[in-house]
Structure formats: structure tokens, C-alpha cells
Amino acid sequence: MRDMLHDYTTVSADSVRSETDEALAAADALVAGAVSSAGSPTFEATLLPLELAGAELVRAYGRAGFMGQVHPDAEVRDAGNDAEERINKWRVALVFRDDLYRAVRAFADTEDSAGLEGERARLLDHWLRDFRRAGHELSSEDRAELERLRTRLVEVEVAFQRNINEFRDGVDVTREQLAGLPDDYIERLSLGEREGTYRVTLDYPEVNPFLEQAHDRDLRRQLFMKNWNKALVANRPLLDEALDLRRRVAALLGEPTWAHHAMELKMARSPERVLAFYDELLPTLEERVRAELDALAERLHADGHDGPISAWDWRYYDEAVRRSEYGVDQNRISEYFPLGPVMDGMFAITGEVLGLEYRAVDDAQAWHGSVRLYEIIDRASDESIAHFYADLHPRDGKYGHAAAFSLIVGHRGADGSWVAPVSAIVANFTPPSGDRPALLKHAEVQTLFHEFGHILHMSLTRAEFARFGGAETEWDFVEAPSQIMEHWTWEPSVLERFARHHASGEPIPTDLVDQMLRSRWFNVAIRIGVQAFYGGIDLAVHAEPEAPDVDAALRRTYAVTGMPYPEGTFFLAGFGHLLGGYDAGYYGYLWAQVIGDDMFGRFAREGVLSGSVGAEYRREILEPNGSRDAEELVRAFLGRDPTNEEFLRLRGMG
């Protein structure tokens, strides 16, 4: 299978362009074959080529478009962004083709199509749905306008993310102004422009610890404000344009709002159901949010500051209370989470639960020397299942958050053989410093496990068609197989297997684990409130038929946090999710967390590392991927519909 992997060391701007050209040509040829079947349509002649074309484009993205997110050469990144735009435009244009619609419609009208079952019937339904959403029931003029709008939307989305990735800002501070931050953090900082200063950037391994630990309140405020105004000049007009394009698309298709249009593809189905979900959960938070903020405000006032807790305060005082009252010092904890052993522990745990083995590939031939490559093996059969790359530390121009990317989607190839998936974790964890290895904050350990949940979803898929692999389930469920993973990072019996001091090798002390556990749900209502704000503002700008007052919507939805709105900011300009696939879907993080908690409840009851529950979880959730409705998968695993009871119980609100 090693020969299926791409040699990324040979990538250039020219190779990115040629890979894209070749893939689009191959996809065009496959689609032409499907179109030519209109006279005698069959599943194999009409629908199968379309799925193979989709797989071809995922491969092209992995070799070309993905380079826009990770390659160290700016010229290659630019070519990668262009490639992503071309690929996405091709996808948009495909479902607008009249000749292709006629071919698929001709097959749908045959007796053979009526006999389709399972994944094949689902595939036809999805293609017919795609054509309907592309306006094939509209006039030719309206359909042409719809295609123009969707094509422009792709351009805007790519430009928006590029601006975030390339944006650079920060604050220059003296050594004295870094009071509260550990020496290893300071050692990793680059020098500032003024002599004797350090540069704190907006990369999250720098901005997050600063907001959590820097004693200088004014500097915390300055850095927070810069972070919430990220890419403002370039991206605010793009956001306004994207929202307008989406409203016009929804109107052409007869939908009340973009949220109604987008949620047809999600578990929720409608914004009304999401609002009902929030209405059920959020009232339980209000009183607790106020109590948590009042307690933090006592600390603020004791430090000589007036007024309420602000956005640049709560994480600092949250961290301070964790240290003083719970004995939780993230810097001390990180000493027990060197990256290498954490990865080994994650492999051992998921291997035991899901029946897997992992092997490091010596010559990764990756896009950067720090990237590692791993092979995933099925323990029972010793079969090679998949490969994945791990690109875990920050560098200039790289994707700025943490995500998993599908580079080759698992599917059944043209000859009937299985094409194994390839994927990548991209993150920006604390890097090594001097003779110290990369020491992860516990929050980074959670993020690693979370993103690895996506990798497992992509890697273990057994869906026949590319459309249903690559974690291609409903977008408000896709986080659940990752949310569930985070629970293992809190289990004492799990932590004792891999949490070792980076220098002495001593296991993490029991009292330190106890302190972590006692503090786990400290200020949980504030955190849920912040998460609800992200989902709330996403709904506010997408669930209105007319152009909303976005600034007013920000202030209105931020109220759920209980804190005053940070005036002088425009957070949405740097909110990449809004134009990165989570539009009218960011609620899915909280929605999926509720479901993930419910599913983890089975492990909690039957055995945290139960291989039998793990085998069922793999069979019922991960392997089907998007080949069945998410609600059906969850029902099969739980034996009932999901509820929010486990989520509330864990957080002391049940």
C-alpha cells in the first residue's frame, strides 16, 4: 500500500497545477461516460462513474489543494489555494449540468433503480437531492443565476480562509510584561521589533497561554482585541458578500433562509429544531453562569480592578482558581504529557478498544520535515487499513487551528478492489524547545484525541462509495465520534498508562490526577455559554430572510456568556468555520457533544476500555460512516434515541 502514497517532497507550484489539471480531466472523462449512458442507463454506467469522479477529486485535493493549508513555500500554498478553488468550482458546476441530470433522471425512472437497496438506494436519493438543490426544477434563467451565485461563493470562501491563514499580528512585550508565564513559553517566542522585547503572535500556542496566565490585564486585553479583529479589513466585506450570496441562493430555491437550506443535509433538518435544542439546554445555564462569573469577579476586584469579568479576564481567573483552589497548574501537568508518549498511549488505547495496531513509517516523504506518517493495521486480520500524517506544530502560513483532512477517501474502486483511505491531522501544538520535547497542555491532549477521532472515522470507513466515506456523515453528527474521544483523556486508568514525566519517566501522581478531575467541570457553564455563543451567532446571521444587523446580532448572542460584549471587535472576520463548512451548522459542536456523551455512557457503564463495546462502536458508528442516517446509527449503538441526560449529569446539571 506504500506505493499508494504521494511523495510530497517533490511538490512544487507547477506540480500542484498539473495534479489538478490531470484530476479534473480524469473526472471530466468519468462524467462524460455517465452522460453517454442516458440511452441505456444502469447503476454501473451512470452513478458509479460519478462516485469515482468524486474520489478522484479528493485525491487531487490531497495532492494539490491541501498544500494551501500546510506547505512551507508561499508560492506552493498560493497554488494550493487556487487548486482548492478550482476543485470546489468543478463540484459546484457538476450538479448544474442538464445532460448529467437527464442521465441520472433516466436511470431513476428505470425498473432497476426501483430495486436498489441499502447504500446504493441512498446514493441515488442523494444525487437526486443534489440536482433538486441545484435548481433543476427552476427555470433555465434561475438555474444559471443559482450556479453563478454558488461559484462566486466558492471564491469568497477560499479567499476568506486564505486571509485568516496568512494574517499576522501580535504584541511586542518586555520580559517583565510576561510575568505569570513559564520560562519554556518565553523561550519559544521570537524576538520583537523593539530591542529587548518578545513577540506574542495570534498563533494559538502563544495567544491561549497568554490569555490564561499573563498577569498584565491591559496586555491581555490588547492581544484579545487583536485576535478578535483578525483579518478584519480583508474579511468583513467577504463575509457580507457571502451572507448575501447565501440568502439569494436560499430565496431562489424557495427556502425561507440559508439555515433552512443548509440544515436539510443535517440531523436537525431545520433551525426550529436547533432553537428548541438550545431552549432545552440553555435555561439551565443562566443562573450557573452568573454564579461562576461572580466568583471570578471577586478575584478581579481583589486584584484592584473594577467592573465585571470581561472576555480577556475569565480564562485568566479560571486558571488562577484552578491553581490556588484545586492545585491544578497546567505547566506542571504538561511535564507529564510529552507528545511522543501521548501519541503512543493514544494508539495503545484505541488499539485495545477498536482492535487496531499502528506502525510508524520511517520515510514519510511529507511536505515538511516535522510531519510523521503512520499506518493503521486491523489487529485481527493484520490487514493494512489506512495511513495518516501528523503535522502537529505551528509555522508561518500554516492552517491556524486543528483539523483532520481527507487526502484519499476509502471507497470501492472501478475494478471492485478497496481503495484504502489516507488522511492528516493538522494542528498547532506546543513545539519542542531546546532539549525539552513538545510538552502538551492537557487541553492540547484533548484536542489531539478529538482530531484523532476524525482520523479513525475516515480510516475505518467501509462505505462502498466515496460520497459516504471520509467522515461524510451529517455535519451536526460528524463531531460526535471525536467528542467521545475526549473522555478517555480524563480517565485515571487511561492516564496512568501513558502520562509520564518527560525527564524522570515517573507516572503522573495520583493526587495531580485527582486535582484535574475535581476541576474538570469548574466554570463549565461559562464554557458552554461561549460555545453556545458561537452557534448562536452562526444561526443569527443565517436564519434571517433579510440582511441582519451583524454587529447587533453579535451583541445579542454574546449575552449567553454573561459577559459584556467586547466593544471595538468583529470576531466573525476571523471565524473560519463560518465560511469553512460549518455555516448554519456550528451548533453541531454542542449537539454532537451531547450525543458523544450519551454514547460514551455505554463505555462508562460497561467498561471504559471494553473491546466488546468498542467492536460494536466500530461496527455501528465508524464503519458505516455516511452510508446510513446518523440517527439510525446512534439508535443502533445506544438501543434508543439519544438524549441530553448524560451531558447534563456529567456537568452536575442533570
Tell me, what DSSP letter sits at residue 639? Answer: S
Q: How far apart are CA 16 and CA 248, in angstroms?
A: 33
Cell of 63: 495532492
Q: In degrees rounded to 5, what are phi and psi of residue 137?
A: -100, 5
Rounded-to-integer distance, Cα 328 and Cα 494, Å: 19
| Residue 335 is a catalytic residue | no
* HSE-CB of 444 using CA atoms within 13 angstroms: 29
Residue type, 300: L
- How many C-beta neighbours within 10 Å does residue 274 have? 27
The CA distance from 524 to 536, in Å, is: 18
Residue 368, SS3? coil
8 A C-beta contact, residue 428 and residue 393: yes
Distances (CA, A) of 496 to 117, 348, 429, 490, 607: 47, 12, 22, 10, 16
Catalytic entry in 451, 464, 472, 620 = 451
- At 438, list the grid cell: 513538545
Phi-psi region at 413: left, alpha or beta (left = phi > 0; alpha = psi -120 to 50): beta
Name the 3-class secondary structure at 507.
strand
Instruction: Tell me the torsion sign for CA atoms 215, 216, 219, 225.
Output: positive
Q: Among candidates 278, 326, 297, which has minimal Cα distance to 522?
A: 326
Of the candidates 311, 218, 372, the one whose C-alpha atom is nearest the C-alpha of residue 566 is 311
For residue 654, with 0-12 CB atoms within 10 Å meaning exposed, 13-18 middle and 19 or more buried, which class applies? exposed
Long-range own/partner contacts, residues 42-50 (CB < 8 A, 24 or more apart)? 42/107, 42/110, 42/112, 43/107, 43/112, 43/113, 43/116, 43/120, 43/124, 46/103, 46/104, 46/106, 46/107, 47/104, 47/107, 47/120, 47/123, 47/124, 47/127, 48/414, 50/94, 50/100, 50/104, 50/127
Burial 299-334 (b: 16+ CB within 10 A, else e): bbeeeeeeebbbbbbbbbbbbbbbbeebebbbbebb
DSSP 110: S
Distance CA 563, CA 573 (A): 21
Beta strand pairing call for 197-201 and 190-191:
antiparallel
Residue 236 to residue 240: CA distance in whole angstroms: 6
- Which residues are marked as active site? 451
